[in-house]
Amino acid sequence: MDIAKTLHNNLLHQDFEDAGALLSALSECQSIARNYAKLENGIAVLSDLVSNKSYIFYGALAEMLALARGNTEKEIDSIWEEDILGCIIPGDLQAKYAVEYRFFQLLKQLPIKERVNYHANIRLRMRNGAGIIIPVIHRIFYLYSLPNSSLGLTLCLYQVDYSQQGRESQDNFIVNTANAELIRMPLSPANGLLSEREREVLKCIRQGKMSKEIAGILKISVNTVNRHRQNILAKLMVDNSMEACRVAELMQLI
């Protein structure tokens, strides 16, 4: 399964009725994005999910990546900044999509007024036209939700990660800035989120095995299997085993 395509469909196929108030929020959010690009010399991408459109604000990072001149702006008819995404190392890009998909799932479960407190923090490696690798911190915010709870405006920020030059990258994470709570995400979507035993149980579930059969195969009790089932649902933030298998495949966990 293609996690990028699934994320795309989830973002654009929300219920966008009653989106009139988004227009007033759009201007304010454009100012936020523009000021970020100038202040941090990064790149800011404000995406309007209702209109499937993005506003890109370029700082000096754009020149480092040979994408555009600094202090320039561009509007595109897509929520995906393909030129920027094309600079990301492929493995890092898949990890970005995995974190972004889980972040979307998390926010959909939160009250609207709490969502602005959260952002996803992802460490990326980007390659410029000369083949030079530039370490980048990528942050994702959802700045505006419609009254019906659909997510309307997302802000993606790219900034040079000076702290990681020449070092091993740390985990990606989602943060609640209101209370400093961190939800850590593995650098590789295949590591860390589920334990080895949980992945074994989920593989059996995908094969159509029942709890009693799984217990026999793995030589554990049925109660232990059921406990693993509940842990899997909680970690993947889904309601049933079928959805757990689908999400785990998208995140390359099984």
According to DSSP, the β-strands at 118-127 and 151-160 are unpaired
- Return the domain boundaries, the chain: 3-185, 196-250
pTM above 0.75, yes or no: no
Output the CA–CA distances (angstroms, integers) from residue 171 to 121, 139, 150, 191, 193, in the order listed: 9, 13, 29, 11, 12
pLDDT at residue number 79:
96
Reported as half-sphere exposure (CB side, CA atoms, 13 A), residue 51 has a value of 14
Output the CA–CA distances (angstroms, integers) from residue 111 to 37, 141, 145, in the order listed: 29, 15, 10
Tens digit of pLDDT at every position of the chain (254 positions): 578 888 999 999 999 987 778 888 999 999 999 999 999 899 999 999 999 999 999 999 999 999 999 899 999 999 999 999 999 998 889 889 989 998 998 999 899 999 999 999 999 999 988 888 888 999 999 999 999 999 999 999 999 887 654 444 456 777 675 665 767 665 554 456 788 899 999 999 999 999 999 999 999 999 999 999 999 988 877 788 888 888 787 677 77
Q: Does the domain at residues 196-250 carry the CATH identifier 1.10.1040.10?
A: no
- The CATH class, in words, for 3-185 is alpha beta
Say how far apart CA 82 and CA 86 lie, in whole Å.
6
pLDDT at residue number 166:
42
pLDDT at residue number 168:
47
pLDDT at residue number 94:
87
